[in-house]
Amino acid sequence: MDSESYTVSLGNNNSEIRQKAESDFISFWDKQAKNLSWFSQWTKTLDWNPPFAKWFVGGTLNACYNALDIHQNTRAEKPAILWEGENGDSSVLTYKDLLDQVNKFSNALKSLGLKKGDRVTIYLPMVPELSISMLACARIGAIHTVVFSGFSSIALKDRIDDSKSKIVITADGGYRRGSVVKLKEIVDDAIKELDCVQNVIVFERTKIDITKNPKDKLWSELMKDSSTKCEPEHLESNHPLYILYTSGTTGKPKGVLHGTGGYLTHLYSTFKWAFDIKDSDIFFCTADIGWVTGHSYVVYAPLLHGATVVMYEGAPDYPDISRMWGIVQKYKVSIFYTTPTALRMFMKFGDAIPNSFNLSTLRLLGTVGEPINPEVWKWYFKTIGKEKCPIIDTWWQTETGGMMLSPLPGIETIPLKPGSATHPIPGTDLAVVDESGTEVPSNTKGYLVIRKPWPGMLLTLWGDDDKYKTVYWSKYENSYYSGDYAIKDEDGYFWILGRADDVLKVAGHRIGTAELESSIASHSDVAEAAVCGIPDEIKGEVIIAFVVLKQGIKKNEESLRKEIIKVVRNGVGPIATPEQIYFVSKLPKTRSGKIMRRLLKSIAKNDKIGDVSTLEDGAAVSEVQSAFDELKKSIKK
Ligand code: WTA
């Protein structure tokens, strides 16, 4: 932990917000919810039936109405989306354009028989049609489930099947590093055996040839004669807005379910407090909408505020490492929000590249997704922000819906400490606790928990209330278990130390060990597999796989390695490609049969045996030691 601190004041001081939140968090959030436009008032602010929270019960609203309709009198001609394609294409959609497109598409969805509560899987690249699709679903009360377009057909299939989506929206292809990814082909493959899918809507992004199937509808044809008038549904505050699948350590990916009123209240407030959003701002978040950051802070939060968003289609370093700075300069970006992985990559190429661009329009810089190393924080602050932009390190999760820890220059000035996401947002209760749930003294490592319900919290896991309870609410009574290690220092600043469970964070992408291991084990020569992450200078973490082959397999290991990589790319997606694969004769397990991943991690990192004695799985040190020795002997890299 770094003792240096930096203070940048934006001149805002609203200390009342924290005071009010502390005195009564329920009436505090009740007041914040009034910033949204409701069709009818709620009767109860919070219905807390642990661990299920319902916010603003009985109130009705519509997310799309709050994102678009409310701006039509004041901002109809203001750009909502400034879109930049990877190949240099660009387009501008004003708030009026966006509403017209969304209404047309809402009517198109209705014409296909889609109804309130039905699910729609969206598998699109970063094009405005992705936002249009989400907002159209929200308008008619359908539940969207966006799948990151880098996921493979098997991963996509699992998600469509779990949500039982009636419609899949995709594109003929998407651009990635200059080549075309044939998304429609991946969808065709994914839905082959799925009866639930009635239609596939294909947006013609690249105009490549596609095989047309009976279920297919072209975006352009559906939109041609569709009306620009569509009344938004009046939805109860806890009506599900979306499902977003995220990875865990066991079983299949979990469908995190978010509601409407609470979620939007959380987004509206955090976006204002953390990013001090003004009508004149140009906001650029580099996240793909396929992940939660994109849902919350590319689509919903900025639109709620009538802000202008820059949306970029491709890879951040394509055609070269200066692409992001070129976009900041071209669109006069004032708020930039990215990941530590991207920053580490930019930093590696030195100061000359960003220094050759005009970045003077920037006034706030955000980061999210992984812990940021203090030296990267300082580089961001000095080289990109020229020491005049506060660094907004935001900690949160798919499950929390929005930011939970973050500096809030929109309401207060505090000294920033490089590497710390500072304090909880007002109206939330975060703590660092030990194994028994007792708060640990300052500067002591423990588990990060959330002790009171918050508006952005997930409603449940789609179709699995029991799993929701076990994953998040069984370790501690009445506290949400985040799965992260943290420290709270003597000044009350939180420092996130990374995952306490086996969830991997590779280049900021959340990847579950379970999905990865079952994908590797689907190779016909593999008996069993275990994966773990080890530190990487740029990506934060990379994946190492330990593989036990079936008896009698005599194949060349190099070709097996290639085959396994192919299986993973097809099973999960390229983001989950292991960096190294080790073949072993058996995996070390605890008496109850649990794989000792921490031990594997120590081996992969070449750590001393001493480190494994701190294992938390209860196995006796000597047992761990012999498993460790045996494994080391049996490894063939
Ligand atoms: C990690 C992304 C340190 C953390 C919004 C969390 C962070 C997981 C930070 C959630 C941060 C996110 N500092 N770690 N500022 N932000 N994380 O669901 O481990 O993709 O539990 O949501 O990312 O990842 P998810």
Residue 627 has phi, psi (to 5 degrees) of -60, -40
Q: Which amino acid is at 305?
A: H
* Residue of 380, 396, 472, 497 best suited for mutating to test ligand 1, as the one with most atoms within 8 Å of CB: 396
Count of the separate structural domains present in the chain: 2
Interval 501-527 mean pLDDT: 92
- Same domain for 457 and 531, yes or no, is no
* Nearest alpha carbon, ligand 1 atom 22: 397
Look up the CATH number of the domain holding residue 593.
3.30.300.30
How far is the first Cα of the chain from the last one, in angstroms, to the nearest whole number? 35
How do residues 529-549 score in pLDDT, each as one tens digit?
Answer: 999 999 999 999 999 999 999
- 58-108 per-position pLDDT tens digit: 999 999 999 999 999 999 999 999 999 999 999 999 999 999 999 999 999
Q: pLDDT value at position 588? A: 84
Instruction: Kindly state whether residues 107 and 31 are assigned to the same domain.
Output: yes
User: 């699709």: which residue's tokens?
Assistant: 133
- Confidence category of residue 605, pLDDT binned at 50, 70, 90: confident
Q: Is 291 in the pocket of ligand 1 (CB under 6 A)?
A: yes
Helices (H), 150-297: 153-163, 183-191, 219-224, 261-275, 292-294
352 with 464, same domain: the answer is: yes
Residue 174 sits in the same domain as residue 254: yes
Predicted pLDDT of residue 614: 47
Q: Which residues pair with 57 in a beta bridge?
A: 44
Burial class (CB in 10 A: 0-12, 13-18, 19+), 414: middle
Among the listed ranges 134-148, 469-483, 580-594, which one has the minimum average pLDDT value? 580-594
**Residue that finishes a domain, picked among 458, 473, 488:** 473
Residue 157 has, within 13 A of its CA and on its CB side, a CA count of: 16
pLDDT tens digits, 284-303: 999 999 999 999 999 999 99
Stated as kind and residue range, the H or E segment containing 80 is: strand 79-84
Classify residue 501: in a domain, yes or no.
no
Q: Taking 60 as the threshold, does the pLDDT of residue 552 lie above it?
A: yes
368 lines ligand 1 (CB under 6 A): yes
Q: Please tell me the distance between residue 559's alpha carbon and the centre of ligand 1 in angstroms.
A: 35
Work out the number of other CB atoms within 10 angstroms of the CB of residue 225: 10
> Is the CB of residue 422 below 6 angstroms from any atom belonging to ligand 1?
no
DSSP 472-509: HHSSSTTSEEEEEEEEE-TTS-EEEEEESSS-EEETTE
- Asked if residue 613 has pLDDT above 50, the reply is no
Q: Decide if 148 contacts 291 (C-beta within 8 A).
A: yes
> Residue 607's pLDDT band (boundaries 50, 70, 90)?
confident
CB neighbour class for 164 (10 Å; exposed up to 12, middle 13-18, buried from 19): middle
**Element containing residue 337 per DSSP (H, E):** strand 335-338
Residue 478 lies in a domain: no
> What pLDDT, on a 0 to 100 scale, did the predictor assign at position 442?
97
Say how many Å lie between the CA of residue 457 and the centre of ligand 1: 15
355 and 242 within one domain:
yes
Paired tokens of 136: 């159209």
Please, what's the b/e burial string for 59-97 (b: 16 or more CB within 10 A of its CB; e: otherwise)? bbbbbbbbbbbbbeeebeeebbbbbbbbeeeeeebbbbb
Would you say residue 103 lies in a domain?
yes
Q: Is the CB of 619 under 6 A from ligand 1?
A: no
CA-CA distance, 591 to 596, in Å (whole number)?
Answer: 10
Q: Name the band, by pLDDT with cuts 50, 70 and 90, for residue 635.
A: confident
195 — pLDDT class (breaks 50, 70, 90): very high
Q: Examine the fold and report which residue of 457, 473, 489 is the final residue of a domain before the chain moves on.
A: 473
Q: Phi/psi of residue 153, each to 5°?
A: -65, -35
Say if 265 falls within a structural domain.
yes
Task: List the single range of 239-253, 330-344, 553-567 with lowest mean pLDDT.
Answer: 239-253
Length of the chain: 637
Is the CB of residue 270 below 6 angstroms from any atom belonging to ligand 1?
A: no
Parallel/antiparallel/unpaired status of strands 79-84 and 90-94: antiparallel
Instruction: Tell me, using a 6 A CB cutoff, whether residue 393 lines ligand 1.
Output: yes
Residue 469's domain is classified under what CATH number? 3.40.50.12780
484, 497, 513: which to mutate for ligand 1, most atoms within 8 A of CB? 484
Inside any domain, residue 217: yes
Are residues 180 and 31 part of one domain? Answer: yes
Give domain status of residue 489, yes or no: no
Query: 515: domain range?
Result: 507-636
Q: What percent of the chain has pLDDT over 70?
A: 96
Task: Looking at the structure, tell me whether residues 99 and 196 fall in a common domain.
Answer: yes
- Residue whose pair of structure tokens reads 């959609």 in the numeric block: 93
CB within 8 Å of 23: residues ≥ 6 apart = none
296 lines ligand 1 (CB under 6 A): no
User: How many angstroms is it from 343 CA to the middle of ligand 1?
Assistant: 16
Buried b (16+ CB within 10 A) or exposed e, 555-574: eeeeebbeebbebbebbbbe
